[in-house]
Structure 1
């Protein structure tokens, strides 16, 4: 019987191992983490990760062939295949701060594997890491002082938050990178045999280690670049009378382009896009490719521009001041279907408004009040009383001067906007950062409406331009 251990019980490790356990009932799967609180959550009825369908998968396997434990050494020692799925955030200090990946947790995991192993193992990179990280891991493992043989593979994850379980069950591809040696090919085959329980062989792609590592960064960079591209077009649409939705639909019908990730908005967020693009920038810089680094840096710069442009539009529309005014914020997660706020555009928009002394009232159907307060606490000179967390959209909008839609939750499409209008200060402003509202209907009600990438409201056309 093959035994699998995954170090890291986070957004990637937990769901991935749960699906492997579901599809491979003869394989024992253990998920380990140094945080007892996180492990306790995985063993409870309230999982630490919200993903549609994940509860059912975990409940079907937990206690059968899926376990969650804080005993890292024991499960690593027992395993034949060890996945490493730890956090690799962007460094905040030191060499490469602001761009390079912080590999502190990754190195700790590698040393834990070296110390605990008493038998040969296949070690699988599941975290998003810089190119050549697998080689660095091999150096750590090779100097463990034992006779244990390790083979390191790269198996990056490509699922999207909010649809992780479905993506894992029916992946576009499973990518496995390894060495072109007899031992390397055997290790690749061992991992392929795991995925072959449910993934067709033609969807299992094998490459070199470096190609697999770079493919993950490149995939997210390409997707982020598409978002920044359409957002750059959206700014031009607004001032020329074009509609970014129509432009995107026209462009997306070209099969060479496709229609994915062409929705103009307030900017991309989540744990991966910005981190991975910046890691790619740093890799280019370190390898003497300043022009390539500058290209990818501009993807992030455009995303920052889109968020700051949105804040400037809100402030300029409301007579160039939001000081003391209540602004309702609908949506705080970085996208619908998740409770994740990492790099959410809503955070930067709220901080911008709070820095201009606005009072914000936030409603999100999944994000907790604790998380909202934690994310808005760093706003320059903001005070606690400037932030309120509402129970629903109507409470958030009551008495507000303006309303910002920052996450595309479906419920925001069907709100009673007449009721909202009646309860707001006049003139009542709506700033749609996700193209959720029916602009025409809201203007008929009496709102002054700004929607990213759409022709400007007649009210806004007479105001100073927002660069």
Structure 2
């Protein structure tokens, strides 16, 4: 392979795919001073972005998008011919959802994006994958793009994994905790250094590796994170069986420097478009490579996470007196985490669905994700406010830890409900305040605690359960949680 082409000091960039990752990357690279062209086959999405409207909720991104458009450095198109001509570096940011009926990653969108771009390439440029993919994908795609491109083996490919957390994506892009460049030549490394110069000049750590290692970094990081979350939730199961307090356990464990307090937050578990499908795809690919036993523990990590949802339903049922038939439940939260409207594999929405299927009358409220939740589960009832959701409820279940729910006054809420029963699925509420206000408080991994002297009888609503249609959800990380420290971007 010839690598003697000059390195472009201030490269023009295209971003292929304008979903959560791609739109954020395009906007932030333009904010750093580069000329960027966002590319997508979805005309509606391109039209919205060109008009300054983000197709998803992400704090800070709409403002950055408007600034980038006004500067003239950011444009959008559906024209791949224009993209091939425009860019010196092409970032591919399309989704890799779980393949239907399998744990494997669906790579059709990645393959299509690379090949459609490569067949139009007539000058030296660098293709860069940012999507999360199984190990070996970059090598396979390199051969594929060189076979279809007029440039042949002059066309190079690199991998630059992303580490975005929904709710903090802008800061994570502009101020990442590290950059990883998977490259096959000094020229490719030089091109990426030029593309990320403003970030590297801010003393951001850089790891330069081969392609396979760069692919592995993201799935390994997500697998480790998922393991830590499921570990503390496994301890919550033990605590429930023994009467121990999982929060006190987490504090004690977190003081150990070898363990640390981050993500030792018990509760409903992880969801979203990254962790669940990534660990499943990782186990599938490892089995294909003959090393499935090495990561077999991830299957139990996944199973622990799913059990948290079932156990949350158990707690709601217990507070309802043993049956959910006709019980009105306020489900607070639908997004998989706060500061997001993402309902992909959302534990909150899964719990609401299970409650509904047991006959409960469920009222779901989320500050941002209601529209997406309604598309996924149209048969659930959705409230337009916290007040509407809890009014007349016999059990309140906190399922996503939005500040609106954390800050709510338990005494004021108590005046609205039919019975003061609350299940804190995220350990986000002040248990003492709720108990002082007469609530029976339950949370995963905690002893039941003292019961108020007088708790109103459970009110029941006569409403038969109806079978829900399966959710049709698409594919995008779990926010950092630091023990006894407010959640921070970094």
What's the TM-score, normalizing by structure 2? Answer: 0.86
- Give unmatched runs, 5+ long, in structure 2: 1-9, 453-490
Partner of 1:197: helix, strand, or coil?
Answer: helix
Alignment match, 2:24: 15
**Per-residue CA distance 1:195-250 (angstroms, 9 max, x = gap):** 12232455121111100100110001101111100111112223333222221122
Q: 2:426 corresponds to which residue?
A: 434
SS in 2 for 1:399: coil
What pairs with 1:50-449 in structure 2 (closer than 5 Å)? 50-63=57-70, 64-93=72-101, 97=102, 99-144=103-148, 146-148=150-152, 149-179=154-184, 184-199=185-200, 200=202, 203-368=205-370, 370-377=371-378, 384=379, 387-426=380-419, 428-449=420-441
CA displacement at 1:192 relative to structure 2: 1.2
1:455 matched to 2:447? The reply is yes
Q: Residues 31-52 of structure 1, C-alpha deviation per residue, up to 9 Å, x if partnerless?
A: 1000011111112243113222
Alpha-carbon distance change, 115 to 244 in structure 1, aligned in 2, over 3 angstroms: same
Q: Deviations over 1:328-358 (max 9, x none)?
A: 0111111111111111101210111111011
CA distance in 2, matches of 1:212, 1:411: 39
- For the 8 Å contact 2:120–2:149, the answer to whether it is kept is no
* CA contact 1:326–1:358 (8 Å) conserved in 2: yes
Change over 3 Å in CA distance of 1:284–1:449 after alignment to 2: same
Please name the residue that 1:40 is paired with.
47
CA distance in 2, matches of 1:364, 1:5: 35
Q: 1:425: Cα distance to partner?
A: 2.1
**Deviation at residue 272 of structure 1 after TM alignment:** 0.5
> Any stretches of 5+ residues in structure 1 without a counterpart?
378-383, 461-467
Secondary structure in structure 2 of the residue aligned to 1:12: helix
Separation in 2 of the partners of 1:289 and 1:32?
A: 37
Structure with the bigger RCO (C-alpha within 8 Å, sep 6+) is 2
The whole-number CA distance in structure 2 between the counterparts of 1:66 and 1:390 is 38
State the Cα distance separating 1:413 from its structure 2 match: 1.9
Looking at structure 2, the residues matched to 454 and 166 of structure 1 have their Cα atoms a distance apart, in angstroms, of 35
SS of residue paired to 2:158: strand
Q: Aligned partners of 1:145, 1:205: CA distance in 2, in Å? A: 29
Deviation track 1:423-450 (CA, whole Å, cap 9, x = no partner) reads 2223x31000011222122222222211
Query: Secondary structure of the equivalent of 1:198?
Result: helix
Give 3-state SS (helix, strand or coil) of 1:423's partner: coil
Distance in 2 (CA, whole Å) between partners of 1:436 and 1:201 is 35
Q: Could you tell me whether the CA contact under 8 Å between 2:99 and 2:106 is conserved in 1?
A: yes
Give, in whole Å, the separation in 2 of the partners of 1:345 and 1:423: 26
Q: How many residues align?
A: 440
SS in structure 1 at match of 2:223: helix
Q: Is the 8 A contact 1:154 1:178 kept in 2?
A: yes
Structure 1 145/375 Cα, relative in aligned 2: closer, same or farther at 3 Å? closer
Q: CA RMSD in A?
A: 1.7
Q: CA deviation at 1:145?
A: 5.5
Indicate conservation of the 8 Å contact 1:346/1:406, yes or no. yes
Give the superposition deviation at 1:458.
4.7
Contact 1:239 1:456 (8 Å CA) reproduced: no
Compared CA separation, residues 273 and 261, structure 1 to 2 (3 A): same
What per-residue deviation string (whole Å, max 9, x for no partner) do you get for residues 373-407 of structure 1? 22224xxxxxx3xx321122121111111010011
* Residues 282 and 293, structure 1, Cα contact 8 Å, conserved in 2: no
Partner-residue secondary structure (3-state), 2:45 = helix
